Chains A and B, each alone.
Chain A
Amino acid sequence: MYQFNVYRIGPEIKIGEIDLSFTNASLFMVISSLAILIIFNLGAQKRNIIPDKIQLLSELSYTFVSKMISDTAGSKAKPYFSFIFSLFMFVLFCNMFGMIPYSFTVTSHIIVTFVLAAFIFIGVTIIGFIKHGFGYLKLFVPSGVPAVLLPLIVVIEIISYLSRPISLSVRLFANMMAGHTMMKVFGGFVVSLGIVGGWLPLSFSVALTGLEILVAFLQAYVFAILTCIYLNDALNLHH
């Protein structure tokens, strides 16, 4: 579990009782953000009709995310495009930087994913109430349900709505942590079995690395698309 340890880099920064020190987690957040900004800035600076590689990369990501949003949340979600784009890219880059050996995976910490998910949850709820007023509460009352079952359904709907931030954050956190722990375990097997028996866990480890890269992308995608779906609920209220 050492790879998940957070430690201070540089001096201790304290404001009153609160510890705001710069840690390795902060370092990788900054690295991810900077990488995103540098890559997309380079991609946006060029204005060729026929794009080169870096321009193509940024433009394809742009169209990918915008298509994802318009497919799941419709055209009303356009104002939230830049938020979902930054969210997707941030999670994706944090996941991917976590795949580098000896690096730190920001998204393998429940607090980070939970803060993101809770922000999304609160934001979506606020948007829903702004757009529909108290009519947003109709979200908990699906149409076409018998009156007898209605109290039960409403309770279930409310619970499922309130558990959204938890499921969203735990999904990302658990995936990242489990993957990294598994790789660590197989790495430990390679070392303990030595040159004779270490080949099998080593090959597993190689395969797992590929799988983890896939998972890193997939979880970022799932995180973004679930955000889109929640946003869709808030923007287009129809059951």
Chain B
Amino acid sequence: MKKIILLNIFYFSFCTVAVKSAEKGGMPQLDPEFWVSQIFWLTITFGTLFLVLSKFILPRISKNLEQRRLQILENIETAEKQREQSEKNLKEFDEIILKSKNKAKEVMLAAREKVVSEITKKKMKLDEDLNSEIQNVEKEIIELKLSSPKKINSIASNITNEVIKRLIGTDVNDSSVSALVEEELKKLSRSTNGI
């Protein structure tokens, strides 16, 4: 600072000596009347401006800028960190979802298998039951089929007996009636077979 001021004083005196030897001109710029005054005031104002700017104002501005830069860097850093954290969280979350999905699939598959096996078991049982029932019924039908002609014969002979009794009023021999009925039935069955 002292150096600058000394330099200024030296420079000013140098310029003054230089100007003193100048001559008058036509333009107001070339009229040396106020040259010294202008140099003097320029040195003072510009020197003051330079000193105040460089000592007080510019350092503050540069400090501000530096502070802002640091702040921004810091913010970017924290943002980066938080981004990484959130990415990590997202990954974990995805993993959890995947795991739970797999688990859900497994549970579903197990349940389905269980249900399917139960259904097949029940179906098989039902089929067995149905088969045995059908067999029983078929047996009964066959038995009935086999026994039905005899029964029909006896019923028919009884009815004929009864009819003859009512018509004639006397009993007829059972064996002859039944023989007759049998003969008739055979004829009937032949005729129906013929149709």
Contacts and interface: CB of A to CB of B under 8 A. Distances in A.
B38 A41 contact: no
B49 A86 contact: yes
Q: Which bracket fits the contact residues of A?
A: 35 or more
Interface stretch (A107-115, A197-205, A214-222): A107-115
B54 A5 contact: no
Interface residues of B, number: 40
B4 to A, nearest CB: 10
B46 A40 contact: no
Interface string B141-175: 00000000000000000000000000000000000
A89 to B, nearest CB: 8
Interface stretch (A16-24, A140-148, A224-232): A16-24
A26 B45 contact: yes
B57 A21 contact: no
Contacts of A58: 61
B16 A40 contact: no
B64 A44 contact: yes
A221 B173 CA distance: 156
B114 interface: no
A209 interface: no
Contacts, number: 130
A8 B49 CA distance: 23
A26 B35 contact: no
Contacts of A49: 68, 71
A40 B53 contact: yes
Choose among A29, A32, A62, A90 the residue with the greatest number of B CB atoms under 10 Å from its CB: A29
A217 to B, nearest CB: 19
21 contacts: A4-B29, A6-B37, A8-B34, A19-B34, A20-B40, A21-B34, A23-B38, A26-B45, A29-B41, A30-B45, A33-B48, A40-B53, A83-B50, A86-B50, A86-B53, A86-B54, A90-B46, A106-B42, A111-B38, A112-B39, A115-B38
